[in-house]
A and B are shown apart, each in its own frame.
Chain A
Amino acid sequence: MTLKATARRNAIHAMLFYSGGCNGCDIEAVNALLSPRYDVEQYKVLWTWNPREADVLVVSGIIAWQMLEPLKKFYAIIPEPKAVVAIGSCPINGNVYKNMVGDIGVNEEIFAPLESIIPVDVKVPGCPPRPEDIIAGVVKALPKILEAP
C-alpha cells in the first residue's frame, strides 16, 4: 500500500445527498452510517455534511428537477479523488416513478437514472436496500479513492 493510500485510509468521509424519493433509503442510510447497530465507522468511514470534506457521495432518490442543479454543484466541489454510490432503485432506474404505464407514460418530472447526470461507481439496488448492503456498497467504493494517483 502506498503512503498516500495509508494516509487517506484514515480519513474517508461520506456525504448523503437526498434528491427526491420517498425517505425510505434516506433513513436506512442514516441508520447505516450513523446508528449504533449498523456502524460504518468500523471501516473508518466518517459522516459529514460538508461537500468540500467528503470523499464518497451517497445519492438516494430520483432526481427531482429542483435538486438537479444542487446535485451537479455538489459533485463539482467534492475534491478529487471521489466516488459516487447510488443507493436504492430510485437513482438506478427511477423505480416506480419513472414509468408506470398509466395515462401519462414516462414521467418527465424526474431525472433518474443518476448515471445520465454524473458518473456512478457503485450501485446498491433494493427498495430500500438493507443497511448492511449500503455499508457493503460504501466499502466497495473505497479502493477507487485509496488507489487513485
Chain B
Amino acid sequence: MSDQPKPANAENVVVEKELSFGPVHPALIEPYRIRLFVNDEIVEDCEINMNMVYRGVEKLLEGLPVERALLITEKVCGICSNVHAWNSVRVIEEGLKIDVPERANYIRTLTHEVQRITSHLIFFGHAFEVVGHETFAMRSFLLRETFMDILAYVGGNRVMPSVPIIGGIRPRADLTEGLKRAILERVDEFEKKYTEYVNRIVADPLVMSRLTGVGLLSKADAIKYHATGPTGRASGWDFDLRRDMKEYKSFDYNIIVLQDCDNKARVVQRALEIVESLKIIRQAVKNLPEGPVVNRSWIAGRMDFYTALLESYRGELMHSYALDGQGMIRSYKIRTPTPANLAAMEKACVGDHVTDAILTIASCDPCLACCTRAEVVESGRGRVMSDTEIIRKYGWRR
C-alpha cells in the first residue's frame, strides 16, 4: 500500500488505512493476525498472517517408528483428527501395498463422514456467531452433540477417536449390532431436527440479506488461487477427491457444486454436504460387510517417497513420507487445505464493507491450528521453493 500515490491535499485528510487485529481477539477463535487495508470502509487489500502456533510437527515425526507416528499425526488438528490419522496410514498402506479389510474401510469412512458433520456444524456455530445470530450458533452446537456422542461410542473419545491403524482399524472401534442400531436411531433423530434448523436459516430474511452477494469469489479466482474443498465447490469448481478414492467406490452419494460464489453459497454448500454425509453413514451402517477388521501381516521396510491425497472437510489434504531400512520415518510432509484457501479468503474480502470481512474469512472455514509451517525462500530470487526442490537441495535431513 505504501507505493500508492498520495492525494493532492494529503496534509489535511486523515485517512486510516490499515486495520489490524489479532492474534487474540473476540472475532477470531484461533490466533492469527489479519491486516485489512481499507479505503473509506471498503477493503482494498487483506493480509492474513498465520504463523502464530508453530509446533514443529513435521520435525518431531522425523526418525520415529512408523507405528508411533499415529500418536502425533492425530493431534495435528483437533477438528479433523481422524483425517490426519487416516491419511498418514494410507501413505504406508499404498506405498507398501498392505491390504485393508473391507469392513475396516467401511468403518473408517463412517468415522470420516461423522467427523465431517461435526466439522461443518462448528462452521455454522462460528459463522453465525460472527453474523451475530447467537441462537443459530447455539443450536448448531446442540445438534453437533449427536455426532460427538457417536464418535465417543465408536472410538472412545469425543475428539480423538483414534480409529485407523496401519492395516485396518483398532479392534475396539468395531461396530456391534447394538451400536449400529443406536447410530441409525440417532441419525434419524438428527435429520429431523437438522431439516427444521436449515429451513429456519434459509427462511430468515435478516441472516440471508447479510450473507447474499457478499464475499464474491469467482470461479476463475477460485481456480487461480487454488481454493479447495467446499470453498472451491461453492464457487462452481467441480473438484472432489472422493471421486477417485477407492474407499468411496461402494457408496452412492452426490457431490454438491453451487454456482453462486458468495457467502450464502458457502453456507448452503456445507448444509447440503451434511445431508450427503448422512446418506453415506446410513449406507455404511446398513451394508457393513462381515470379516476381520485389521490385517497385521505387514512389515515396515524401505519405502520410497509416497504421497497420499484425501478429501478432508476443508479440502485436499496431503501427507507424504519415506521410510528408511529400519522402518523409520524420513521427511514427513503435511499440506493441509487451509493454506491453499488463505489466498482465496484474502481475495474474497476485497471490495466489500469492512464489517463483512471477518464473515467472509469465517465462511471459508479457516483452521489455523494445522496450517502453521515453515517456508524456504530462495535468496536472490525471492521465491518460495517447492517441496521437491527443497528435498533435492537439502536432502532428507534438513
Contact = CB atoms under 8 A, between A and B. Distances in A.
16 contacts: A22-B370, A24-B78, A27-B159, A30-B29, A49-B26, A66-B31, A67-B52, A67-B53, A70-B23, A70-B24, A74-B24, A102-B63, A103-B59, A104-B62, A107-B60, A127-B75
Please classify the interface of chain B as helix (H, G, I), strand (E, B), loop, or mixed, using the class held by over half of its residues: loop
Interface string A108-149: 011000000000000000011010000000000000000000
A109 B158 CA distance: 28
Interface string A14-43: 000111111111111011001111000000
B54 A28 contact: no
A95 B61 contact: no
Given A64-B53, A102-B63, A36 B138 contact: yes
Interface residues of B, number: 42
Nearest to A22: B78
B159 A24 contact: yes
B55 interface: yes
B391 interface: no
B79 A23 contact: yes
B51 interface: yes
Contacts of B23: 66-67, 70
Interface stretch (B1-9, B64-72, B106-114, B229-237): B64-72
A31 B25 CA distance: 18
B71 A100 contact: yes
Interface in B346-393: 367, 369-370
A61 interface: yes
Most central of A30, A95, A103 by chain B CB within 10 Å: A103
A97 B141 contact: no
Interface of A: 17-28, 30-31, 34-37, 49, 61-62, 64-67, 70, 74, 95-97, 100-104, 107, 109-110, 127-128, 130
Interface in B40-97: 51-57, 59-64, 68, 71-72, 75-79, 81
B122 interface: yes
B244 interface: no
A25 B29 CA distance: 12
Given A24-B78, A66-B52, 12 more contacts: A20-B53, A22-B81, A22-B369, A23-B77, A35-B142, A35-B145, A36-B139, A62-B55, A95-B75, A100-B60, A127-B160, A128-B159
